[in-house]
Structure 1
Amino acid sequence: MTAAVEVEAPQIVDGLSADDYHADRTSVSSSGLRALLPPGCPAQFKYDRDNPQPPKREFDLGHAAHKLVLGEGPEFRTIEFPDYKKVAAQRERDEAYELGLVPLLTKEHDMVQAMAEAVRQHPVAGPLFTPDSGKAEQSIYWTDHRTGVRCRCRPDWMPTPQENGRLVVVDYKTAKAVDEAALQRAVYERGYHAQAAFYLDGVKAAGLTGGQEPAFIFVFQAKTAPYLVHLVELDFPALTLGAARNERALRIYADCERTGNWPGFNDRITYLPLPAWAEKRDHEEYA
């Protein structure tokens, strides 16, 4: 068994900007750990960390919805055009990005307003996000005792626990579909179960739980009208699988930091079979 390492004290930071949080190079986040594992690899993780990419338009709606629902995040600017075909619209969009604002076309502005209203009207999500009843986007830092890796997380929202109440960590996500089957696929394929386990480790390490086991709730919202909301708490096997993924990624990260070697895929030729479903599909299509 590996001996526990000396750890740096946990730290809770209020008011840290998202840009400063993401620019940190002394710790690793949940998204960073997920990028180390397939289909990613350490070499790609290091390149992306060292070469931050410009804002991606597909995230604009999510950022704006976060701002309206949580009250935290970058401000947005409405672009009074139906699309970005005209040069003037493109210019306004690029200026907004340069100012750190989220550009939204008129129809997108109306859409995120309707999304936020749907959350406010939801019988569970609405009260959960009541202003002044919790804290949005606190930055939490701690050291993994097994590997000595400094970790960080930034919960979207943590309602203030009632007296002797259980701490709830809330994560708000927008999605194309929020039915149970779609969410099962999204949670597994995007590693959200690993995110939940990681954030729960963070709040426990920071001493925020009051001695009780915390809960992690996903608030998923569809990006098409009527902007349905689906709250999800993962079961124990899902969190266990996520925690195991995190441990593998932490050990990879620790080894890469120690050796300075961030490997890509195999240097050898991979003997590659087709997916397990390929033969069955061919028989069905060409029989």
Structure 2
Amino acid sequence: MKTVIWTPETVVDEPGIYLGVPDEVYRADPCPEPSLNASVAWDCLKKSLAHGAAAHPKIAPTEPDEDDEPSSPTRAQDIGSAAHRLAFGVGPEIALIHAPNWRKKADQEARKAAWEAGEIPLIPKEYRRAKAMAEIAKPILDGLLEGSLVAEAMIVWRDEDGFWFRGLIDRMRADARVVIDFKTTNLVSSPSEAMDLVYKSKAYFQEGFYRWGLDTLDPEGRGRRRFCFLYQEQEPPHMPCLIETSEAGRTLADEQVEGAVNLWKRALHSGAWPGWSLGPYQASPPPWLLSQWEARAAYDENLNPPVIA
């Protein structure tokens, strides 16, 4: 399995693992031909091929709008990024802004300057929260990684028909046998909600896509690879929850990935990227709305015809 440390002179000309690839390079698709990643595959499958084409930088490149300013991270995103940095020991540096809040203009300007420098701006109370989260998550992550970490790894592979595919893995063990997706969130307050989020957020599909890529690059690891989703509350007590997909979930992901890949290959070969049909579609009321109405009709006598003397 070829492994390459990325430099500005690096050319992606064969399958392998490319380390340290800048996000903007990955998003621009550095492969020799248009390559499919998990997000575009999901658009092809769940929306339409037209949506997949529109999201791909080589199929339908968009002209940058110089008037558009890049969106700034939210407070929760900065705290989450800081927790990642403190737990893994890699990633953007933290810029500590000594202020009680972000109300003063000078502090807001300092935060903006930190963002522009590629740093994570935090005030002390935000840093304390990120540190508390990392202190809980780090022993779990260390146990999974066993002292061996590869960060920001772009995997590139080809299938039997010669089509190109790529993925960007956030964190994995150096032998590519354990892949970790660490997410801090306010959307999870129980293990059952974490399990639901794996499927609502298409994380299971991304796992299936990346598992296929790693199995192609590392056939000896097939069936011996772990994909772990570690969710952690941003609010105290910062409870963590480790999730792995079931066999049924992995089977579903494999079937959906195969379907999305077939759609992509057919469209790339033909040059046709159709959207959905115009319709008309018949919209039937959902079961919950019917049940809600039936329940009200049963108890609300005022809905009956009035008795007018």
TM-score, normalised by the number of residues in structure 1: 0.79
1:213 to 203, 224, 239: 224
**2:257 maps to 1:246:** yes
- Could you say if the C-alpha distance between residues 229 and 209 of structure 1 is closer, same or farther in structure 2, counting changes exceeding 3 Å? farther
What is the alpha-carbon distance in structure 2 between the residues aligned to residue 43 and residue 73 of structure 1?
A: 35
**2:137 maps to 1:127:** no
> Match of 1:91, SS?
helix
| Matched residue, 2:21 | 16
What are the Cα deviations for residues 101-142 of structure 1, in whole angstroms up to 9, with x where unaligned?
Answer: 333343322211111111124xx4342245x42322322111
- Could you say if the C-alpha distance between residues 79 and 37 of structure 1 is closer, same or farther in structure 2, counting changes exceeding 3 Å? farther
| Matched residue, 1:168 | 178
Q: Which moved more, 1:245-254 or 1:50-59?
A: 50-59
TM-score, normalised by the number of residues in structure 2: 0.74
**2:89 maps to 1:71:** yes
> Match of 1:231, SS?
strand
**2:203 maps to 1:188:** no
Does the CA-based 8 Å contact 2:44-2:52 persist in structure 1? Answer: yes
- Could you say if the C-alpha distance between residues 247 and 15 of structure 1 is closer, same or farther in structure 2, counting changes exceeding 3 Å? same
What is the alpha-carbon distance in structure 2 between the residues aligned to residue 82 and residue 249 of structure 1?
A: 49
What is the alpha-carbon distance in structure 1 between the residues aligned to residue 123 and residue 40 of structure 2?
A: 31
- Could you say if the C-alpha distance between residues 173 and 193 of structure 1 is closer, same or farther in structure 2, counting changes exceeding 3 Å? same
2:144 maps to amino acid? L
Identify unmatched segments of 5+ residues in structure 1: 1-7
Q: Which moved more, 1:63-72 or 1:188-197?
A: 63-72
> Match of 2:36, SS?
coil
Identify unmatched segments of 5+ residues in structure 2: 1-12, 65-69, 300-309
- Give, in angstroms, the shift of residue 273 of structure 1: 2.2
> Match of 1:277, SS?
helix
1:20 maps to amino acid? V
What are the Cα deviations for residues 159-217 of structure 1, in whole angstroms up to 9, with x where unaligned?
Answer: 356xxxx9222221223215222022211111111111112111111116446532212
- Give, in angstroms, the shift of residue 10 of structure 1: 2.3
- The number of aligned residues is 271
1:22 maps to amino acid? R
What is the alpha-carbon distance in structure 2 between the residues aligned to residue 44 and residue 76 of structure 1?
A: 37
Q: Which residues in structure 2 correspond to 1:198-277 (within 5 Å)?
A: 198-207=209-218, 209-210=220-221, 213-277=224-288
Does the CA-based 8 Å contact 1:178-1:229 persist in structure 2? Answer: no
- Could you say if the C-alpha distance between residues 20 and 63 of structure 1 is closer, same or farther in structure 2, counting changes exceeding 3 Å? farther
1:150 maps to amino acid? W
> Match of 1:34, SS?
helix
Does the CA-based 8 Å contact 2:88-2:138 persist in structure 1? Answer: no
Does the CA-based 8 Å contact 1:81-1:106 persist in structure 2? Answer: yes
- Could you say if the C-alpha distance between residues 27 and 266 of structure 1 is closer, same or farther in structure 2, counting changes exceeding 3 Å? same
- Could you say if the C-alpha distance between residues 230 and 169 of structure 1 is closer, same or farther in structure 2, counting changes exceeding 3 Å? same
Q: Which moved more, 1:187-196 or 1:11-20?
A: 11-20
**2:39 maps to 1:31:** yes
Does the CA-based 8 Å contact 1:203-1:209 persist in structure 2? Answer: no
2:141 maps to amino acid? A
1:62 maps to amino acid? G
- Could you say if the C-alpha distance between residues 234 and 80 of structure 1 is closer, same or farther in structure 2, counting changes exceeding 3 Å? same
What is the alpha-carbon distance in structure 2 between the residues aligned to residue 184 and residue 266 of structure 1?
A: 34
1:98 to 91, 96, 116: 116
What is the alpha-carbon distance in structure 2 between the residues aligned to residue 240 and residue 70 of structure 1?
A: 31
What is the alpha-carbon distance in structure 1 between the residues aligned to residue 100 and residue 261 of structure 2?
A: 45
